[in-house]
A and B are shown apart, each in its own frame.
Chain A
Amino acid sequence: MNAFRQPNFLALALRRGNFLLGGVLAGLVALLALVSLAWTPHSAYELDIANKLNPPSPTHWLGTDHFGRDVASMIMVGARNSLLVGFVAVGTGLAVGVFLGLWASARRGWVEELIMRFSDFAFAFPAILSAIMITAILGPGAVNSILAIGIFNVPVFARVTRGSANAIWAREFVLAARAAGKGHARITLEHVLPNILGVVVVQATIFFAIAILAEAALSYLGLGTQPPHPSWGRMLNEAQTFLHLSPHLVLFPGLAVVISVLGFNMLGDGLRDLLDPRLSRTRLAGYPR
């Protein structure tokens, strides 16, 4: 009786709200990062021991850390860092993963087996563990953490791409394209990719959130962005010691992580709902025939 499930309008509006709120939160983080390129309230690098561990005040909106650096500025620069890591890591995963997924789906047979067994293998390790492993081998640093997160993203995208692409390959219009004399590569580019793009974009947005979280975790462990560059994860790590003395040092970077992860997650969810034809189609489909 699925065909009769009418989209509930309240739910649809809420989902739209989801998308809007997600967009606003993610946009806010992106705005902070952009502004930080040109202007920050104070320098995020300058030490001012005299004013260390200040609580929030009109001069230092979010207070200062144990070296007297301005927390607001550090969070802004940290946002830049987080977004960059997210972009590059997800971009790498996306490019390689989507390519592998499309290839597996178009060629089937041993190519598909090989790619999918490789991604099974990668999936067998917990994500953060493999990221730690990779940074342990390559050494800590922003670039290596990007690489670690990116590599972890490859099988995710390969899998999602292959799954949706296989569904498209089974459709009759693909058969029609084959009957029209199109080769596998052209069918992939002209029919398969455009039809799975929505799914991939949604996946990318959600994994963006996960990448931000992973970067924060790696930096927290000291494997990610290295000092003196500010990073939310390391700010949290350093704030631990002063938790009782200056709780704002934990609060604000933590809040930044939560807001950006939540924002991108909601954005992805909202996008999924908007792009999913089964939910956005408000017409009653009648009997499945």
Chain B
Amino acid sequence: MTFPNPPVVDADGLTRHYMLPRESLTAAPQRVFALNRVSLTVRAGRSLGVVGESGCGKSTLARCVMALEPLTAGTLRILGKDPHAMRSRALRRHRQNFQMIFQDPFGSLDPRHTVGRIVSEPLEAAEKRLGPDERRGRVREVLEAVGLRGADMSKYPHEFSGGQRQRIAIARALTTRPALIVADEPVSALDVSVRAQVLNLLRDLQDRYGVTYLLISHDLSAVEYACHQIAVMYMGRIVEYGSTEAILADAAHPYTRALLDAVPRSSPERRRARTTLKGAVPSPTEIVSGCPFAARCPLVEPRCRLQAPEWREVMPGHGAACHLV
């Protein structure tokens, strides 16, 4: 399988470690290994879903890709340019190419700004040449593109419901016509009926503008619906990567299989005996010598605890980090 599209995101070995504040004067500061050598590529017009449980590093990945958090190591290229290596002025201009949607539609909009001002915020920073009329035209255009009315410009966020607010947030991310939108749990705060509206909208926008998504979510079914590729993360690492179809049909990593199995099904015919994983995700402050999943893996072997598994390809474009693959 070949992709003719050029990469929009090209990440190589992204690593993010940071220190926690000391618990007491004598305690050694703890280091958090939030992101460990994560490499991925997202091509233009495609969408990559990053799934995993809380604390797996997926939100850190989103913020590092957005250059909102510094990297400890690794290189990132967005449209060929590394935002982490840029001076702040150049970075601010480069930001028009990659925008973000946040999880909480109540927290991500400044309650004291009008919708028009919120949506045009990325424009102000990026395209100073744009006149006020053009700017207003652009805001109206994106508001209409997300299913709101141009007249909503002068309203305040509290006048909208959760789903409408998330539309405003999406409109804000679209105003600069970015190549990439990083969406961190864009639908998990929404109700089921509204969630479907927003998921459909995200896909329509991709069809219409060819925007590329990096979608972070804990919800596998939402990711399946919205994404072409899936990366599964565990303890700051990508443990499996492949096309959505391949991962859903033929997951290679035991963790991916457990994740898929844990999703509750709404067909009550079979009350399944879940193969539940034991325990929870270990603390990311520990250094693991072997496979990070070994402690919870139902198929664990002695070598898993000793030796970190290497990346193996199951098929071209579908790989996993597991000894048993």
Contact = CB atoms under 8 A, between A and B. Distances in A.
The judgment on whether A and B are partners is yes
Given A175-B68, A175-B102, A180 B125 contact: yes
A108 to B, nearest CB: 13
A172 B93 contact: no
B278 to A, nearest CB: 29
A182 B66 CA distance: 13
A181 B108 contact: no
A176 interface: yes
Nearest to B169: A176
A173 B125 contact: no
Contact of A172 (B99, B107, B112, B125): B107
A239 B72 CA distance: 71
Contact of A181 (B103, B107, B113, B125): B125
A171 interface: yes
A278 interface: no
A195 interface: yes
A191 B112 CA distance: 8
Nearest to B189: A289
Interface string A182-214: 110010001100110000000000000000000
A183 to B, nearest CB: 7
A177 interface: yes
A177 B90 CA distance: 16
Nearest to B108: A172
Contacts of A173: 107-110
Interface string A95-124: 000000000000000000000000000000
Given A179-B99, A195-B112, A171 B107 contact: yes
Interface in B166-218: 169, 172, 189
A171 B112 CA distance: 13
B107 A182 contact: no
Contact of B110 (A178, A179, A195, A289): A195
A180 B172 contact: yes
B107 A179 contact: no
B102 A181 contact: no
Contact of A179 (B100, B109, B111, B189): B100
Interface string B90-105: 0111011001101110
A279 to B, nearest CB: 16
Nearest to B88: A183
Given A172-B104, A175-B68, A175-B102, A180 B109 contact: no
A289 B106 CA distance: 11
Contacts of A191: 110, 113
Contacts of A194: 110, 112
A176 B108 contact: yes
Contact of A180 (B104, B111, B112, B121): B121
Interface in B50-67: 66
Q: Which of A171, A173, A190 gathers most chain B CB within 10 Å?
A: A173
B126 interface: yes
25 contacts: A172-B103, A172-B108, A173-B109, A175-B68, A175-B102, A176-B102, A176-B169, A177-B110, A178-B68, A179-B68, A179-B95, A179-B100, A179-B122, A180-B121, A180-B122, A180-B126, A180-B172, A181-B91, A181-B93, A181-B95, A181-B126, A186-B125, A194-B110, A194-B112, A195-B111
Interface of A: 171-173, 175-183, 186, 190-191, 194-195, 289
Interface of B: 66, 68, 88, 91-93, 95-96, 99-100, 102-104, 107-113, 121-122, 124-126, 169, 172, 189
Those 5 A-B pairs whose CB atoms lie nearest each other, nearest first: A181-B125, A181-B95, A180-B122, A172-B107, A181-B92
Given A178-B68, A179-B68, 15 more contacts: A171-B107, A172-B102, A175-B68, A175-B102, A176-B169, A176-B172, A177-B110, A179-B95, A180-B121, A180-B125, A181-B93, A182-B124, A190-B113, A194-B112, A195-B110
